[in-house]
Chains A and B, each alone.
Chain A
Amino acid sequence: MEVPILKQGPYLIASIQSALADADLVQFRDALVEKVGRFRSRGVIVDVTVLDVMDSFATRTLRDLSQMIRLRGAETVIVGIQPEVAFAMVQLGLRLEGVGTALDLEEGLAFLNRMTRIGD
């Protein structure tokens, strides 16, 4: 299951469409990090609205992804985490430290605009 990665101006938007297996997640991470360089993107939005489960591997992959993308010179924001998922994550001690989060795509864009000072 491949995740579509769309270029939108200076940003990349990756919208996860269904639950991903571990291997798919790794592939997604690598593809995203690679495209950040190729498109010279300033920010990345990862939309996880459809996910109703977030396990430790997914959490770690998102955290790694965010750090890798920062090293490549862009910011990452995770959008669309469901309330139940958020609650389950903190209860299980899964932390997304240092990773930007926002309510939805719109908020994510506003977040990236602030972080990258685009649109000032």
Chain B
Amino acid sequence: MSRGQIAMGEKGVTLQSTLPEGEKEFVLLRELVSHLRGNRTQLREEWARRITQTQLLTAMSQEEIFAEATSVYDNYVEALETGTLEALQAYARNLSERIIPRGVETHEVVGIVLLLRDVLARSLFSKYRSDFALLNRILDAYEPAANRIANTVAVGFVQERERIIREQQEAIRGLSTPVLQVRERLLILPIIGAIDPQRARQLTEQLLGAIRTNRAKVVVIDITGVVAIDTNVANHLVQTVEASRLLGARVIVTGLSPKIAQTLVTIGVDLSKMNTVGDLQGGIEEAERLLSYKVAPGDAPEELT
């Protein structure tokens, strides 16, 4: 923002004398900007060449890199000139939105902005190499602005990434887990996908709430759609079973794949209290037996114990 204030000082005649230092800096910056504008084509090409050379942005084609490089370059120079970062921020967000889905990594974005900074600094070195004092003053004006710009772009990118991740997490959580009633007092909880502690917690809370509202006696948890299981998840299953029992509901776990069964045995989770049945169909049949429904003609209904 300080540069914006200086720009105003330059216009207001009264402020001009009170800001001699800032004034000088502003003149330097203006010279810098006109230098960057004047050598736009050459510097831009140099930058694009360096990007390709260092193998950044490999997910994008040569033309795309050049097109983006042009816009970034212009935005960069504009940010240097005006000292306001809003336009650049907006552009960085927009850019991130476009390139994140294509798999561009954070280090690449930071890398290209730093490359641009280096390319521009080099051009300044070569232009002012005869006058070291002037070069120093030019760099004094250039470096803080350039660093702030690099910072802005990187932060914009990371924020955009985090926003996307948050959105996706929300989406996954939304389609997380329905608790379904299939019969009077019989609930089914099909679990699909990976389970993290947060989801496991949410799952249990939902299930316990559903047991109370539906007055469920038996719950079938189907984990056919769970790819892998670890100690935490297994323990959480045990906890869920125990908590359901405290509410007076029995839990049947179905759909343990051979791999999961092997994992459970290997990590030695105590599943002795767990009622497991091969598949969902078997689980529902077992549940109906527990509920004393008649499953098939001739079967005597068994007592609930």
Closest-CB distance, B241 to chain A (whole angstroms)? 9
Q: Please encode chain A, from 39 to 59, with 1 for each CB lying within 8 Å of some chain B CB and 0 for all others.
A: 000000000000000000000
Query: Is residue B208 contacting chain A, with contact meaning CB distance below 8 A?
Result: yes
Query: Is residue B299 contacting chain A, with contact meaning CB distance below 8 A?
Result: no
> Contact partner of B247 among A86, A91, A95, CB < 8 A?
A86
User: Across the two chains, which residue of chain B brings its CB closest to A87?
Assistant: B243
Query: Is residue B182 contacting chain A, with contact meaning CB distance below 8 A?
Result: no
User: Across the two chains, which residue of chain A brings its CB closest to B245?
Assistant: A101
Contact in complex: A90, B205 (CB < 8 Å): no
Contact in complex: A101, B246 (CB < 8 Å): yes
Closest-CB distance, B279 to chain A (whole angstroms)? 27
Q: Please encode chain B, from 200 to 215, with 1 for each CB lying within 8 Å of some chain A CB and 0 for all others.
A: 0000110011011001
Query: Is residue A79 contacting chain B, with contact meaning CB distance below 8 A?
Result: yes
Which of B205, B215, B248, B249 gathers most chain A CB within 10 Å? B248
Query: Is residue A119 contacting chain B, with contact meaning CB distance below 8 A?
Result: no
CA A90 to CA B204, docked complex, whole Å: 11
List residues 48-97 of chain A with CB under 8 A from any CB of chain B.
78-79, 81-87, 89-91, 95-96
Query: Is residue A107 contacting chain B, with contact meaning CB distance below 8 A?
Result: yes
> Contact partner of A81 among B204, B246, B305, CB < 8 A?
B246
> Contact partner of A89 among B205, B217, B243, CB < 8 A?
B243
Q: A103-B212, A114-B305 are in contact. Are A83 and B205 (CB under 8 A)?
A: yes
Residue numbers in B under 8 Å from A91 (CB-CB)? 239
Contact in complex: A86, B249 (CB < 8 Å): no
> Could you give 20 example pairs across A and B, Cβ below 8 Å?
A78-B246, A79-B248, A81-B246, A83-B205, A84-B205, A85-B246, A86-B208, A86-B244, A86-B246, A87-B205, A87-B208, A89-B243, A89-B246, A90-B242, A90-B246, A91-B239, A96-B246, A102-B248, A103-B215, A103-B249
A interface residues with partner B (beta carbon < 8 Å): 78-79, 81-87, 89-91, 95-96, 101-104, 107, 111, 114
